[in-house]
Amino acid sequence: MSLDIVYQDTDLVIVDKPSGLLSVPGRGADKQDCVVNRVKRLIPGIMDQPAVHRLDMATSGLMVLARSADIHRNLSQQFERRWVEKKYLALLEGIVEAAAGEIRLAFRLDPDNRPHQVYDPIQGKLGITRWKRLSVNGITTRIEFTPLTGRTHQLRLHASHPKGLGTPIVGDPLYGNGKKGDRMLLHAAQLQFRHPGNGQTMHIVSKAPFF
Protein backbone atom coordinates (compact mmCIF):
# COMPACT_ATOMS: atom_id res chain seq x y z
CA MET A 1 0.00 0.00 0.00
CA SER A 2 3.01 2.28 -0.42
CA LEU A 3 3.19 5.24 -2.79
CA ASP A 4 6.03 7.33 -4.20
CA ILE A 5 5.42 10.88 -2.95
CA VAL A 6 7.73 13.19 -4.91
CA TYR A 7 6.57 16.45 -3.28
CA GLN A 8 4.32 17.53 -0.44
CA ASP A 9 3.65 20.59 1.68
CA THR A 10 0.73 21.90 3.74
CA ASP A 11 -1.31 22.62 0.58
CA LEU A 12 -0.76 19.78 -1.87
CA VAL A 13 0.77 16.41 -2.61
CA ILE A 14 2.36 15.17 -5.85
CA VAL A 15 2.78 11.44 -6.35
CA ASP A 16 4.42 9.28 -9.00
CA LYS A 17 1.64 6.81 -9.84
CA PRO A 18 2.70 3.34 -10.93
CA SER A 19 1.12 1.74 -13.97
CA GLY A 20 -1.74 -0.57 -13.01
CA LEU A 21 -2.99 1.49 -10.06
CA LEU A 22 -6.31 3.35 -10.25
CA SER A 23 -6.26 7.11 -9.67
CA VAL A 24 -9.57 7.18 -7.79
CA PRO A 25 -11.76 4.41 -6.36
CA GLY A 26 -14.12 2.59 -8.67
CA ARG A 27 -17.28 0.61 -8.04
CA GLY A 28 -16.89 -2.56 -6.02
CA ALA A 29 -14.59 -3.76 -3.26
CA ASP A 30 -11.96 -4.88 -5.77
CA LYS A 31 -11.52 -1.32 -7.07
CA GLN A 32 -10.80 0.50 -3.82
CA ASP A 33 -7.00 0.33 -3.98
CA CYS A 34 -6.05 3.59 -5.70
CA VAL A 35 -3.88 6.69 -5.40
CA VAL A 36 -6.55 8.62 -3.48
CA ASN A 37 -7.11 5.94 -0.84
CA ARG A 38 -3.39 5.31 -0.41
CA VAL A 39 -2.75 9.05 0.06
CA LYS A 40 -5.60 9.29 2.58
CA ARG A 41 -3.97 6.52 4.63
CA LEU A 42 -0.53 8.11 4.41
CA ILE A 43 -1.68 11.68 5.12
CA PRO A 44 -4.42 11.82 7.77
CA GLY A 45 -6.64 14.89 7.55
CA ILE A 46 -6.39 15.33 3.78
CA MET A 47 -9.72 16.21 2.14
CA ASP A 48 -12.08 13.39 1.21
CA GLN A 49 -11.75 13.81 -2.58
CA PRO A 50 -8.26 15.26 -3.11
CA ALA A 51 -7.58 14.29 -6.75
CA VAL A 52 -7.30 17.39 -8.95
CA HIS A 53 -6.96 15.34 -12.16
CA ARG A 54 -6.65 11.67 -13.09
CA LEU A 55 -4.39 9.36 -15.01
CA ASP A 56 -5.60 6.21 -16.76
CA MET A 57 -4.98 3.08 -14.74
CA ALA A 58 -2.42 1.91 -17.32
CA THR A 59 -0.59 5.27 -17.37
CA SER A 60 2.20 6.00 -14.90
CA GLY A 61 3.56 9.31 -13.70
CA LEU A 62 2.84 12.56 -11.91
CA MET A 63 -0.51 13.24 -10.28
CA VAL A 64 -1.50 16.21 -8.09
CA LEU A 65 -3.74 16.02 -5.03
CA ALA A 66 -5.01 18.91 -2.90
CA ARG A 67 -5.12 18.89 0.89
CA SER A 68 -8.04 21.34 1.22
CA ALA A 69 -11.09 22.50 -0.73
CA ASP A 70 -9.64 25.96 -1.47
CA ILE A 71 -6.45 24.49 -2.89
CA HIS A 72 -8.45 21.95 -4.90
CA ARG A 73 -10.58 24.74 -6.38
CA ASN A 74 -7.53 26.80 -7.36
CA LEU A 75 -5.72 23.89 -9.00
CA SER A 76 -8.87 22.72 -10.79
CA GLN A 77 -9.27 26.18 -12.29
CA GLN A 78 -5.67 26.12 -13.50
CA PHE A 79 -6.33 22.83 -15.28
CA GLU A 80 -9.62 24.05 -16.76
CA ARG A 81 -8.02 27.27 -18.05
CA ARG A 82 -5.09 25.31 -19.54
CA TRP A 83 -2.55 27.06 -17.35
CA VAL A 84 -1.01 23.73 -16.32
CA GLU A 85 1.68 22.47 -18.67
CA LYS A 86 1.81 18.68 -18.91
CA LYS A 87 4.32 16.58 -20.81
CA TYR A 88 4.09 12.84 -21.37
CA LEU A 89 6.64 10.40 -22.75
CA ALA A 90 5.53 7.43 -24.83
CA LEU A 91 6.97 4.63 -26.90
CA LEU A 92 4.95 3.98 -30.07
CA GLU A 93 4.74 0.67 -31.93
CA GLY A 94 5.74 2.05 -35.34
CA ILE A 95 7.93 4.67 -36.98
CA VAL A 96 6.77 8.29 -37.02
CA GLU A 97 8.32 10.01 -40.03
CA ALA A 98 7.62 13.67 -39.16
CA ALA A 99 9.62 15.53 -36.51
CA ALA A 100 6.81 17.38 -34.72
CA GLY A 101 3.27 18.59 -35.11
CA GLU A 102 -0.14 19.21 -33.59
CA ILE A 103 -3.11 16.85 -33.58
CA ARG A 104 -6.67 18.18 -33.42
CA LEU A 105 -9.25 15.38 -33.29
CA ALA A 106 -12.75 15.33 -31.82
CA PHE A 107 -13.86 12.12 -30.15
CA ARG A 108 -16.44 10.73 -27.75
CA LEU A 109 -17.24 7.64 -25.71
CA ASP A 110 -18.48 4.57 -27.59
CA PRO A 111 -21.43 3.55 -25.35
CA ASP A 112 -21.46 0.04 -26.82
CA ASN A 113 -17.77 -0.51 -26.06
CA ARG A 114 -16.92 1.35 -22.84
CA PRO A 115 -14.45 2.88 -22.09
CA HIS A 116 -13.31 3.00 -25.73
CA GLN A 117 -13.33 6.43 -27.38
CA VAL A 118 -14.17 6.92 -31.07
CA TYR A 119 -13.42 9.66 -33.56
CA ASP A 120 -16.53 11.79 -34.15
CA PRO A 121 -16.05 15.21 -35.80
CA ILE A 122 -19.75 16.03 -35.33
CA GLN A 123 -20.64 15.02 -31.77
CA GLY A 124 -17.18 14.56 -30.30
CA LYS A 125 -15.24 16.98 -28.08
CA LEU A 126 -12.07 18.43 -29.54
CA GLY A 127 -8.79 17.16 -28.20
CA ILE A 128 -5.57 19.04 -28.99
CA THR A 129 -2.09 17.55 -28.60
CA ARG A 130 1.31 18.88 -29.59
CA TRP A 131 3.98 16.27 -30.10
CA LYS A 132 7.68 15.94 -30.81
CA ARG A 133 9.61 12.92 -32.04
CA LEU A 134 12.55 12.25 -29.74
CA SER A 135 14.13 9.26 -31.48
CA VAL A 136 13.48 6.17 -33.59
CA ASN A 137 14.82 2.84 -32.38
CA GLY A 138 14.29 -0.06 -34.74
CA ILE A 139 10.53 -0.23 -35.29
CA THR A 140 9.52 1.99 -32.37
CA THR A 141 9.42 5.76 -31.87
CA ARG A 142 9.95 7.78 -28.71
CA ILE A 143 7.49 10.67 -28.52
CA GLU A 144 6.98 13.65 -26.21
CA PHE A 145 3.32 14.65 -25.96
CA THR A 146 2.09 18.03 -24.72
CA PRO A 147 -1.71 17.81 -24.37
CA LEU A 148 -3.48 21.17 -24.49
CA THR A 149 -6.80 19.58 -23.54
CA GLY A 150 -7.56 16.76 -21.13
CA ARG A 151 -9.97 14.41 -22.87
CA THR A 152 -10.35 10.78 -21.82
CA HIS A 153 -7.76 8.58 -23.58
CA GLN A 154 -6.66 11.61 -25.61
CA LEU A 155 -3.02 10.64 -26.11
CA ARG A 156 -3.85 7.00 -26.70
CA LEU A 157 -6.37 7.86 -29.42
CA HIS A 158 -4.23 10.63 -30.95
CA ALA A 159 -1.31 8.22 -31.22
CA SER A 160 -3.25 5.32 -32.72
CA HIS A 161 -5.81 6.97 -35.01
CA PRO A 162 -4.97 7.27 -38.74
CA LYS A 163 -5.77 10.98 -38.55
CA GLY A 164 -3.29 11.29 -35.70
CA LEU A 165 0.11 9.59 -35.67
CA GLY A 166 -1.31 6.31 -36.95
CA THR A 167 0.69 4.11 -34.59
CA PRO A 168 -0.45 3.07 -31.08
CA ILE A 169 1.40 3.22 -27.81
CA VAL A 170 3.28 0.03 -26.97
CA GLY A 171 1.22 -2.14 -24.64
CA ASP A 172 -2.07 -0.31 -25.17
CA PRO A 173 -4.83 -2.96 -24.98
CA LEU A 174 -7.63 -0.66 -26.19
CA TYR A 175 -6.09 1.13 -29.18
CA GLY A 176 -3.10 -1.06 -29.90
CA ASN A 177 -1.87 -4.62 -29.60
CA GLY A 178 -1.37 -4.81 -25.86
CA LYS A 179 -2.39 -7.99 -24.06
CA LYS A 180 -3.62 -8.48 -20.52
CA GLY A 181 -0.69 -7.95 -18.16
CA ASP A 182 1.32 -5.84 -20.63
CA ARG A 183 2.80 -2.54 -19.44
CA MET A 184 1.48 0.39 -21.49
CA LEU A 185 4.45 2.67 -22.20
CA LEU A 186 2.92 6.08 -21.45
CA HIS A 187 4.26 8.21 -18.60
CA ALA A 188 3.24 11.62 -17.22
CA ALA A 189 6.76 13.00 -17.00
CA GLN A 190 6.41 16.75 -16.29
CA LEU A 191 3.98 19.10 -14.59
CA GLN A 192 4.24 22.88 -14.37
CA PHE A 193 1.71 25.06 -12.56
CA ARG A 194 1.43 27.96 -10.15
CA HIS A 195 1.44 27.00 -6.48
CA PRO A 196 -1.94 28.04 -5.04
CA GLY A 197 -0.43 29.03 -1.71
CA ASN A 198 2.60 31.16 -2.59
CA GLY A 199 2.15 31.83 -6.32
CA GLN A 200 5.53 30.36 -7.24
CA THR A 201 5.97 28.29 -10.41
CA MET A 202 6.20 24.58 -9.65
CA HIS A 203 8.04 22.38 -12.15
CA ILE A 204 8.08 18.70 -11.26
CA VAL A 205 9.82 16.01 -13.35
CA SER A 206 9.55 12.22 -13.23
CA LYS A 207 11.80 9.90 -15.22
CA ALA A 208 9.94 7.45 -17.47
CA PRO A 209 10.85 3.92 -16.33
CA PHE A 210 10.92 2.61 -19.91
CA PHE A 211 13.12 5.29 -21.54
**Residue 30 designated active-site:** no
CB atoms within 10 A of CB 108: 15
Which amino acid appears at position 30 of this protein?
D
Distance, in Å, from the CA atom of 39 to the CA atom of 67, rounded to the nearest integer, reads: 10
As a whole number of angstroms, the distance between CA 107 and CA 153 comes to 10
- How far apart are the C-alpha atoms of 158 and 103, rounded to whole Å? 7
Annotated catalytic residue, options 16, 56, 110, 172: 56
3-state DSSP assignment of residue 70:
helix
- So which residues are the catalytic ones? 56
